[in-house]
């Protein structure tokens, strides 16, 4: 099959990165912005490193959640997904996310791919009657032992009992093979705690899982099972195939995903690919949740922080800063307006913004020409943590270095030295400017607009307008 062979190609020097695709039953919240920012920092970093990067994101539109939200809102499902998909895309654009493609799972190209995968894996698919506990919020079946006080552990709602005849995938056939794949890091899962979590689930014994639902449950919404118009593909079987949209770049170098969808990506997705004869993704980077009062931020729970509001009041780079520096890449992190403002004032207004003003004011006053910043030394303590998904550690190193430069200025006092020895003062200011440029270049993956403003100011030898006005 030509399509299959093309997907198996390895592009020299390529880097293919994806985010998960969110349901569009409601507006995005700050948790979606977190994954966007993390994936974008990696995409930008590898572009700067000379890789042929392809960055895919998009929206998951075929779920029952979307159908039910539309029904409750009194509009058609198509109108709801069209409207909300644009809002998610708008968030990505306002957050300055450098995606190369935005896939919607209602697009013809996606539907074609989903059907191809179904047919390629058909030897592992069969039909049977089934009765189970189904959480619409998660779009998945739970065992009773997995519930907490009879409720879904994520959405805190009681799953409904669903009994129908569906198509099932022979997941049990892959027990030993999948264990070896994950244990050997053939498909690496980061951090290790998530790898162990996936292995624990597999070692409990894999059971075949449902990959379709009756069409009537959503008034026909969803992708039709090939050859069976009475069935629609189970949303996760359908949605996962979005990653194959960038065919020539497959396999993915990194899938960015939240811990709540680990099972789908570490268990269901690889066996689907194996059944279809396709290569596995290389690495899964699994981040934690943004929480409010210790509880997962969720549209279903209604405890969301609006990222558009934060961008409007503080700017896109300030939001990116907070999500990448103040939030752990692997663990849950609580977010409040108070914490956001405190970090903004301390580390952006008083930290980076103040340092840029001090250095560029001296440069403008004491230097006749712009400083040549064409060559700067790499900062390994920034690059290496970033390659390991330790965004916060990479940014901590930059802020620590900013503090060192600020300390040098305080100690050396070039504004006093210039009165006694202008050449020596100019030499020190040139050094500060070069180091500021070095910091700015390393900020590119994290805060691209801010990086560009600093570099432009250096090239023009002019102090820029206040980058981060203090917020009261």
Active-site annotation, residues: 29, 32, 135, 138, 152, 155, 296, 299
**């064409």: which residue's tokens?**
374
Residues 6 or more apart whose Cβ sits within 8 Å of residue 461: 360, 363, 364, 367, 369, 370, 371
**Cα 4 to Cα 276: distance, rounded to the nearest angstrom:** 8
Question: Which among 166, 164, 163 is positioned nearest to 127, based on CA atoms?
Answer: 166
Residue that is written with structure tokens 């079987």 in the block: 237
CA end-to-end span of the chain? 62
Which residues, in sequence order, are CB contacts of 26 under 8 Å at separation 6+?
Answer: 69, 84, 299
Closest alpha carbon to 222 in 121, 78, 73, 85: 78
Half-sphere exposure of 105 (CA within 13 A, CB side): 31
The span from the CA of 337 to the CA of 340, in Å, is 5
Closest by CA to 317, choosing from 44, 103, 58, is 44
Report the distance separating Cα 447 and Cα 246, nearest Å.
Answer: 26
The 290-292 sheet, strands edge to edge: 295-296, 290-292, 333-334
Alpha helices in 61-220 (DSSP H): 64-73, 77-94, 108-120, 175-183, 192-203
């Amino acid at each position: 099959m030509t399509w299959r062979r093309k997907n198996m190609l390895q592009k020299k020097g390529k880097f293919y990165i994806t985010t998960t695709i969110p349901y569009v039953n409601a507006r995005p919240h700050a948790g979606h912005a977190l994954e966007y920012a993390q994936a974008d920092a990696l995409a930008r970093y590898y572009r700067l490193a000379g890789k042929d990067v392809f960055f895919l994101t998009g929206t998951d539109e075929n779920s029952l959640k979307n159908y039910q939200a539309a029904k409750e809102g009194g509009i058609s499902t198509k109108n709801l997904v069209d409207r909300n998909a644009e809002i998610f895309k708008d968030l990505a654009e306002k957050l300055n996310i450098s995606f190369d493609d935005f896939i919607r799972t209602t697009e013809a190209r996606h539907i074609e791919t989903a059907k191809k995968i179904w047919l390629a894996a058909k030897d592992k698919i069969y039909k049977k009657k089934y009765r189970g506990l189904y959480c619409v919020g998660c779009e998945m079946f739970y065992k009773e032992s997995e519930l907490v006080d009879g409720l879904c552990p994520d959405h805190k709602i009681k799953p409904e009992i669903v009994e129908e005849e569906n198509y099932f995938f022979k997941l049990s056939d892959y027990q030993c093979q999948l264990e070896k794949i994950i244990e050997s890091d053939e498909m690496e899962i980061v951090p290790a705690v998530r790898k162990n979590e996936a292995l624990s689930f597999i070692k409990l014994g894999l059971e075949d899982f449902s990959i379709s639902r009756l069409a009537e449950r959503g008034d026909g919404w969803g992708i039709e099972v090939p050859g069976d118009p009475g069935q629609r593909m189970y949303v996760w079987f359908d949605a996962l195939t979005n990653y194959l949209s960038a065919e020539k770049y497959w396999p993915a170098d990194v899938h960015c995903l939240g811990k709540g969808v680990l099972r789908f990506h570490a268990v269901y997705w690889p066996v689907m690919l194996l059944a279809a004869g396709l290569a596995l993704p290389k690495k899964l980077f699994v981040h934690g949740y943004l929480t409010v009062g210790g509880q997962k931020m969720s549209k279903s729970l209604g405890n969301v922080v609006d990222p558009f509001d934060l961008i409007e009041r503080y700017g896109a780079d300030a939001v990116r800063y907070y999500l990448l520096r103040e939030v752990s890449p692997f663990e849950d992190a609580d977010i409040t307006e108070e914490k956001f403002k405190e970090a903004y004032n301390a580390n952006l207004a008083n930290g980076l913004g103040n340092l840029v003003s001090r250095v560029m004011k001296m440069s403008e006053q004491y230097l006749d020409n712009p400083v040549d910043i064409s060559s700067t030394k790499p900062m390994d303590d920034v690059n290496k943590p970033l390659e390991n998904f330790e965004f916060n550690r990479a940014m901590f190193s930059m802020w620590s270095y900013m503090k060192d430069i600020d300390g040098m200025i305080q100690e050396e006092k070039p504004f006093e030295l210039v009165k006694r020895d202008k050449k020596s003062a100019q030499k020190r200011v040139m050094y500060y400017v070069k180091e500021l440029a070095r910091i700015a270049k390393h900020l590119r993956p994290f805060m691209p607009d801010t990086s560009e403003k600093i570099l432009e100011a250096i090239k023009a030898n002019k102090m820029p307008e206040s980058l981060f006005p203090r917020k009261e």
